[in-house]
Amino acid sequence: MNFISVHRQSPAVGFRDALMHGLAPDGGLFVPESFPRLPSSLLDRFELASLHEVGAEVARLFIKDIPLPDLRRIVERALSFPIPLSKLDDRFVLLELFHGPTLAFKDVGARFMAETLSHYLERERRELTILVATSGDTGSAVAHGFFNVPHVEVFILYPSGKISKLQEQQMTTLGGNIHALEVDGPFDDCQRLVKQALSDGTIERELTTANSINIGRLIPQIIYYVWGVAQLRSMGVAEPPTVVVPSGNFGNLTAAVYAKHLGAPIGRLFAATNKNDVVPEYFETGRFSPRPSLQTLSNAMDVGNPSNFARLLDLYGGSLDRMREDIDAGRVSDEETLAEIRNTFGQAGVVLDPHTAVGVFAARKRVSGSALIAATAHYGKFPEVTLRALGKTFPPPPALAEALTKPKQSVRIPANYEALKRILRDG
C-alpha cells in the first residue's frame, strides 16, 4: 500500500515517508493509493474481535513495512484506553472517543503517530524534534502522545493568554521530553515561528511537525469506526448505521469515510458542523468558499478552511454528486447546541460536550434509522458550556483534576524567530 499526493505531482511513497514528511513534496496531502477490503477473517467474527485485533487488521492494510508483532504492540500502546459505546435511545448510540489522557479523540491519532514514528527512529538510529503550533487541543494531545516516547523531543508553541487554563495545564505540566513555549503573540505568530524553523536549514536538529493533516494521525482513526460498527452489531443493530461526525478540519469524517470504503458496514456518513459551515454550504450550493473562522461554543470545530476536505474531493474525483451518494452535511447553531445538551440530559441523563451535542442535534434532525455518533470530547473539558446549558457543573474527571494541580513548566518567549532559534540550539 502506497500513499500518493492529491496533486499527483509527487511519486507514491510508503507509510514511513508519508508519516515523516507530513505533506508531499508537491504540497499536496497524502491519500491511500487504493482501499483494500477488510479481510473476511475479521468480518466473519466481527462482533467478537477486540479493539486491538480490529486495530491491527486495519493498520496492516496500510502499513506494510512494520512487522506484524510490532504493529500489534503499536496499536496496543496507542489505544491503551477503552472506546465504549453508550446508548442514548433506541436509535442513537454514542461512540465514546474521549477516554484517552486528554479526554478527546485527538489522543488516538497523536498516540499512534508517536508510536509509529518512534518505531522508525529506533531502527534508523535517529533523533527527531517535533514543533507544533497549537491554539489549544492539538497541543495537549501531541504532548501526551509523545510524552516519554524515545528519540523524540517536542516543542509546543502556544499563544500566551489565548487558551483556557485547562488546556494550558494539559500541555505544560508533563516535563521530560515535552517543552512548552508560551509565545507573546497570537496563534498566527506561533504558526509563523514553526514554519520559519522548518524552513531554516541552519538548525542542527532534524525537525518536523505533527499537524492534523499527517496521514499517521488519520489511519488510526479508521480503527474506531470499524470497531464501533462491529460493536453496534453485537448490541443487536442489524442495519448498517449512519455514522455522524462533528466536524471542523474534516479529518475525523474522512477516517469514517475511509472505514466505509474498506468495507465496514456503514450506511451513510453525516458531517455536522457549527456555523463554520463551508462544507454544508458546498453540499447545498456546489460552491466551496473557505473564509475566516467564526468563534462558537464548539471551538475545536471553528475552522473556516477545512484542510482534509481535499482528501474527500480526491476520493470522489471532485464530484459532488458522487460525494452525496455517501455523505450528508448540516450546520448546528450555538443555541441548538445548548438546547441539545439540555435535551439529552433531560431524556437520557447523559451530559454532552458541545462538539458531541452538535452531532446529536444533527442526528435527531436529519437521520432516520440508527446512528453511531462520534462523541469527540468529555464534557469536563468545557465547564463553562455545561454551566450555561444546565445551570450547574459536575466534578472534573480525575485526569483533568490531576493536571490542574501540577506546576506549570513553560518558557515564555517573545514572538520573534531568534528567541525560538536560541532555544532549539541550547535547549
Ligand X SMILES: *Cc1c(COP(=O)(O)O)cnc(C)c1O
Does 376 interact with ligand X (rule: CB under 6 A)? yes
Report how far apart, in Å, the C-alpha atoms of 84 and of each of 56, 318, 397, 407 are.
Answer: 18, 35, 17, 32
Strands (DSSP E) found in 269-370 = 269-273, 327-331
* Contacting ligand X within 220-279 (CB under 6 A): 246-253
Express the helix, strand and coil content of the chain in percent, nearest 5 each: 45, 15, 35
Q: Nearest to residue 95, comparing CAs of 322, 346, 290, 377?
A: 377
Least separation in angstroms between residue 250's CB and ligand X is 5
**Residue number, 177 or 252, with CB nearest to ligand X:** 252
**Residue number, 177 or 274, with CB nearest to ligand X:** 274
Phi-psi region at 349: left, alpha or beta (left = phi > 0; alpha = psi -120 to 50): left
169 contacts 409 by C-beta, under 8 angstroms: no
Q: Residue 199: count other Cβ atoms within 10 Å of its Cβ.
A: 8
**Residue number, 83 or 104, with CB nearest to ligand X:** 104
Least separation in angstroms between residue 423's CB and ligand X is 28
Does 104 interact with ligand X (rule: CB under 6 A)? yes
Return the residue of 106, 111, 311, 364 that touches ligand X, per CB under 6 A.
Answer: 106
Least separation in angstroms between residue 301's CB and ligand X is 5
**Residue number, 106 or 331, with CB nearest to ligand X:** 106
CA distance 399 to 169: 11
Least separation in angstroms between residue 136's CB and ligand X is 8
Does 216 interact with ligand X (rule: CB under 6 A)? no
Does 293 interact with ligand X (rule: CB under 6 A)? no
Return the residue of 194, 257, 301, 310 that touches ligand X, per CB under 6 A.
Answer: 301
**Residue number, 248 or 330, with CB nearest to ligand X:** 248
CA distance 6 to 32: 10
Does 15 interact with ligand X (rule: CB under 6 A)? no
# chain residues binding ligand X, by CB under 6 A: 16
Q: How many residues does the chain have?
A: 427
Return the residue of 300, 332, 360, 367 that touches ligand X, per CB under 6 A.
Answer: 300
**Which amino acid does the sequence have at 398?**
P
**Residue number, 62 or 98, with CB nearest to ligand X:** 98
CA distance 46 to 120: 31
Q: Residue 233: count other Cβ atoms within 10 Å of its Cβ.
A: 15
**Residue number, 92 or 309, with CB nearest to ligand X:** 309
**Residue number, 137 or 153, with CB nearest to ligand X:** 137
279, containing H or E segment: helix 278-285
Chain residues that interact with ligand X, rule: CB under 6 A: 104, 106, 137, 246-253, 300-301, 355, 376-377
